[in-house]
Amino acid sequence: MDILETHAYDRRQRRNTSCLLFLSLFPFFLSAALYFYWWIPLSEPSLLAAAVKSAPTFSLALLVLSYNGGRSLVGVAGGLFFSVGGDCCLIWDELFLAGMACFAVTHVLYSVSFLSSHYSSHSSSSLSFFFYLLLWLTGGGTYAYLFPHLQKSHDSSILTPAVGVYVLLLVLMVTLALRTRQPLMALGSLSFIVSDFTLAIQHFKVVPNLEHGRLFVMTTYYLSQLLIAVGDVRAGTDEAAEFHKWKRS
């Protein structure tokens, strides 16, 4: 097989993989459409509401697991499954801390994945360090902004440090996602932090509930999970393609 044939074969493989991946995302798009059609946040908390809200994330978890196998359970697939738990818990206000704990585990698992050999390591430039610093300052500033409002909560002794740890894990996850230099991971992680910070300022009454606040939170949340899941699948398929190319050479 000469070089031109090899390149043509690789293009066909990438095109076929992309088409198959797009078709595999149909359950996500369908379940997300059903969620927004029924607008679950405005309904009474129930097991049905929890199932509808978590269905898009659950479909992404199964997708990543089917492509990348069991190893992804200690990585993006595992993080998505914990996100399903977080989605369900946040249906009930009294389970907010449990939901936050689930998403904290999600960020840990995403971070583990971004540090693995699944992603190529890149040296950081001075410009990258500037963005990392800006990201951490934003995270710290957001926590400082939330702090007085956390102190007013009836369970402030638990909530205040818990939110601090959560912000730390979230910003760490985003930093490691940016470090991979994968556009989908970068955009997905940034969308996640925007979603969480928007939710926080509304949940802790920093600002009055925005007119379309819930819509913005859920749109950016589903978008973040979609981009991270697709990015992880593509990283896995690229890794497999490189392995097969090496075997053919």
Give the pLDDT confidence score for residue 1 in this predicted structure: 47
Q: How far apart are CA 28 and CA 33, in angstroms?
A: 8
Query: How many other C-beta atoms can be found within 10 angstroms of the C-beta atom of residue 67?
Result: 22
Nearest to 177 by CA among 139, 128, 215, 210: 128
More confident residue, 68 or 208: 68
Q: Is the pLDDT of residue 240 over 80?
A: no
Q: Report the largest interatomic distance among the alpha carbons of the chain, rounded to a whole angstrom.
A: 70
Confidence (pLDDT) at 95: 94
Quote the pLDDT of residue 122.
Answer: 60
pLDDT of residue 63: 95
Instruction: Please give the C-alpha separations between residue 134 and each of 131, 194, 216, in angstroms, as whole numbers.
Output: 5, 14, 23
Whole-number pLDDT of residue 210:
73
What's the mean pLDDT in 194-217? 87
Q: What is the pLDDT of residues 128-184, one digit of tens each?
A: 888 999 999 999 999 999 999 999 888 889 999 999 999 999 999 999 999 998 999
What pTM value is reported for the model?
Answer: 0.87
**How does pLDDT run across 14-55, given as a tens digit for each residue?**
555 677 888 899 999 999 999 998 876 666 788 988 999 999
Among 51-55, 79-83, 117-121, 174-178, the range scoring the smallest mean pLDDT is: 117-121
Mean pLDDT over 193-199 rounds to: 95
Average pLDDT of the residues of the chain: 86
Say whether pLDDT at 10 is over 90. no
